[in-house]
Amino acid sequence: MKPVIGVTPDFNAGDRKDRGGREPTYFLRDRYVRAIETLGGLPVILPLTDDPVLQQRLFDSLDGLMLTGSGPDLPPRLYGEAQRYKFRVMSRKRYAFELAMIARAIKTATPLFGICGGMQALNVALGGSLVQDIGAQLPKALQHRAPGPATAYAHAVRVMPKSLLQRITRQTRLSVNSSHHQSVKAVAPSLVATAVAPDGVIEAIEAADRRRHPFLLGVQWHPEYLFERSPVHRCLFQAFLRAARRG
Ligand code: MN
């Protein structure tokens, strides 16, 4: 049986000029769905319901949860800060749903894979914080909002020995793409940083205790742009799907 993977879409509540304008609109890049489908899972794009009963029924139907990237960012008050820079804030509908689903995945040790903004949501859900703007707060950092296409490698990351990420990729160094202006600042207490860019920016987080949660992984880059040509980045989805299949 193919594992059923819930995929969170992005949402324009009607306050954005793009993606539907004033009309409330869901949107999601096909690459996320394609990665799950072509690598042996059944992707299900999730409705962002705020009804806890429906959330629970949805959650119970899943073998794994994949949190996708987002243009707009989480409201900094979620990690106890005022918004210090100008950036668009994610619709409440999306982050409320994602935080609620993350809590369920943590409680049941359900395989969870967070990509880019999805990794940031995971960290914030568990009590961590974010760098609100890398360019402003870490002026010596690399350019993490790479100008080239997202299919191109932008920088390297160092992978922590014995981490889940190292076990999956069998690498101590990875080339990654980079399309983010925020990053993990304080790592949540139950998580650990397992990939770091040369400038110190955290690029992956995972469960500190893998016995408690065997597959809980967030990456700051976008493997959905790389999986077709890179076996290493393909491995991330494959390992996630294996974990979801085992249930
Ligand atoms: Mn980066």
Q: Using the mean position of ligand 1's atoms as its centre, give its distance from the Cα of residue 188 in Å.
A: 19
Per the listing, tokens 């994949």 go with 66
- Per-residue three-class SS string for 99-110: HHHHHHHHHHCC
Cα angle value 67/72/75 (rounded, 5°): 90
Q: Are the beta carbons of 68 and 180 closer than 8 angstroms?
A: no
Quick one: pLDDT at residue 15? Answer: 86
Q: Using the mean position of ligand 1's atoms as its centre, give its distance from the Cα of residue 144 in Å.
A: 4
Q: How far apart are CA 54 and CA 51, in angstroms?
A: 5
Which of the residues are catalytic?
116, 222, 224
Q: Are the beta carbons of 198 and 155 closer than 8 angstroms?
A: yes
Digit-by-digit pLDDT tens for the chain (247 residues) are 999 999 999 999 888 888 888 999 999 999 999 999 999 999 999 999 999 999 999 999 999 999 999 989 999 999 999 999 999 999 999 999 999 999 999 999 999 999 999 999 999 999 999 999 999 999 999 999 999 899 999 999 999 999 999 999 999 999 999 999 999 999 999 999 999 999 999 999 999 999 999 999 999 999 999 999 999 999 999 999 999 998 7
Q: Using the mean position of ligand 1's atoms as its centre, give its distance from the Cα of residue 13 in Å.
A: 28
Say how many C-beta atoms besides its own lie within 10 A of residue 211's C-beta.
Answer: 7
Nearest to 183, CA basis, from 217, 133, 233, 142? 133
